[in-house]
Structures are given as structure tokens and as C-alpha cells.
Amino acid sequence: MTPKTPPNPEMRAFYEAEAQAYLESLPLSHFMESTAQSSQRKITVESFDLIHVARPDVQCFSELLIQYPQSNRRKPAKVVPDNFVVVYPEPIIASGTFAITEQPVGPLLVLEYVSKHSNRKDYHENFDKYQADLKVPYYLIFYPDNEELTLFQLADGRYSAVRPNAAGRFAIPDLEMEVALLGGWVRFWFRGALLPLPGDLLIERDAAREQRDEAREQRDAERQARLAAEKNAEAERHSRIAAESELARLREELARAKGRE
């Protein structure tokens, strides 16, 4: 679903007011999230941050309210994915709400993480909204408690489960990306390479730094050993010269002594 008219200041204000009213209507339980959901969201956001470096048009949002018109109703329909991704060459401006009619593009991918310890959303209702109303091309749903991942792709107005490729991963060609479970979490491959997590990057950075430090220490040790060897060689040369000089002196004295005889 894409906007049919240019952004309208009055409509923008309307959607922002609706978003504020929706926020104020939410119970406290809505803001409670299981650690599994929080961990997966962190992995997703950090992975898409890395993708964004190579592809600035790929933009990921977290817990951002999506609003869109409903037929025969003044109030817009609402849905809040755990994460969603849009592809657009310019930065998306969405403060507090992502109003479909006010945006240049709609979501390409929505991601939701369902934990048995948290009933924050009606995921069955969300599924219908993504499929029938918003017509989001890809929908990923992950059950961390069961380590169950399904990627749906929209075809002929209905979602069908994507089959894994030869590598056992689910491809999203529009994003040059694949997804699969690894270590109990949804992980992301971009252009064939597994995206490392910041923790992994820190480990790699620290390992590289340690290798550099060890190499520098080894070079310093080798330099010190070389200087010591040069110093010893110089000392030996001076000793040899002194010994040769002393031997020459003794020979001269011996020759003089023989001459006096």
C-alpha cells in the first residue's frame, strides 16, 4: 500500500493525534516484553544497522505504530510490528507513527517475536492486517520458546511459507538477505555472509588488537635481541682488537729481548 496523495500537514497532525491517543490508551502490560523478545529485537536491529551501512535504502524500525485508513471509518486502523523494514533511497521521517498514506513506501518486511511469557499483541489479527490490509510482501514470525521460525511471502493476495534454500536459509532477494535459526536465534546473512553481532565484532576487535600487541611485543623483543647481539658483537670486536694489540706488544717485547741477547 503506497500513498495516493502528497503528504498533507492536516492529515499528519491527525495521525499524530491518533498515535498519541493510542499510546495513552495502552495498558502497562503492553510495555512488558520477555527477555527472549528483547534479545531477538536487539539482534535484528544490530544486524540491520550493519546492512544499512552497505545499503542506506534499507531502513529498520522498532515498535513503531503503523496507521492506515479503514473504509467507512474515520479512525485509522493500527498495528505495531516488533520490527519492520522499508526500502527507500531517502531517510524515512516517522515521528511516533508511520502513517501509510503519508509515507512514500510501505513496509517490505515485518518481523514479530511471540513468547509464551508475553501476550502483548494479537498476532493472529496482525497476520490478517499484514496480509489483507497492508499487503506486506514478507512477514517473519519467530517463537523463541520453541525455536520456531516461519517466513511468509505474499503471492496472489495470500501468505505462503517460504521454503529454505540449499543452505537451509530463507531468502529475501529484495534485501539481498537470508534468515535462519542459529544458536536458537534468528540470524541474518547479507550477500551470502553471516552478519556478526556487535559482541562478536568486539571479540574480533579485541582478538585483532591482542594479535597486534603480541606482534608489536615480538618485534620489540626481536629488536632488543638484535641490539643486544650488535652490542655483544661490538664488545667482542673491541676485545679482539685489544687482545690483538696486546699480543702485538708482547711480540715486540719478546723481539727486543731476543735482540739484547
pLDDT of residue 78: 92
pLDDT of residue 240: 85
- pLDDT tens readout for residues 28-60: 455 556 788 888 999 999 999 999 999 999 999
DSSP 131-198: IIIS--SEEEEEETTTTEEEEEEEETTEEEEPPP-TTS-EEEGGGTEEEEEETTEEEEEETTEEPPPH
- Residue 2's alpha-carbon distances to 22, 62, 63, 104, 124, in angstroms, are 23, 20, 20, 6, 24
C-alpha cell at position 25: 490508551
Q: With contact defined as beta carbons under 8 Å apart, do 137 and 56 qualify?
A: no
Q: Tell me the per-residue pLDDT of 139-173, one tens digit each, with 9 for 90 and over.
A: 999 999 899 999 999 999 999 999 999 999 999 99
* Cell digits of residue 124: 493472529
> Residue 242's pLDDT is what?
83
pLDDT tens, residue order, the chain (261 aa) = 444 455 667 766 777 767 666 666 555 455 556 788 888 999 999 999 999 999 999 999 999 999 999 888 788 999 999 999 999 999 998 888 999 998 999 999 999 999 876 665 677 889 999 999 999 999 999 999 899 999 999 999 999 999 999 999 999 999 999 999 999 999 999 999 999 987 775 576 566 667 777 777 888 888 888 888 888 888 888 888 888 888 788 778 777 777 776
pLDDT value, residue 238: 85
Instruction: Return the pLDDT at 16.
Output: 72
Residue 3 is predicted with a pLDDT of 47
5-9 long-range Cβ contacts below 8 angstroms, 24+ apart: 5/101, 7/102, 8/102
Cβ pair 208, 216 in contact under 8 A: no
* Architecture of the CATH domain 9-195: Alpha-Beta Complex (3.90)
Secondary structure class of 126 (helix, strand, coil): helix
What gap in Å lies between CA 19 and CA 155, rounded to an integer? 31
Domain boundaries, the chain: 9-195, 196-261
pLDDT score at 9: 72
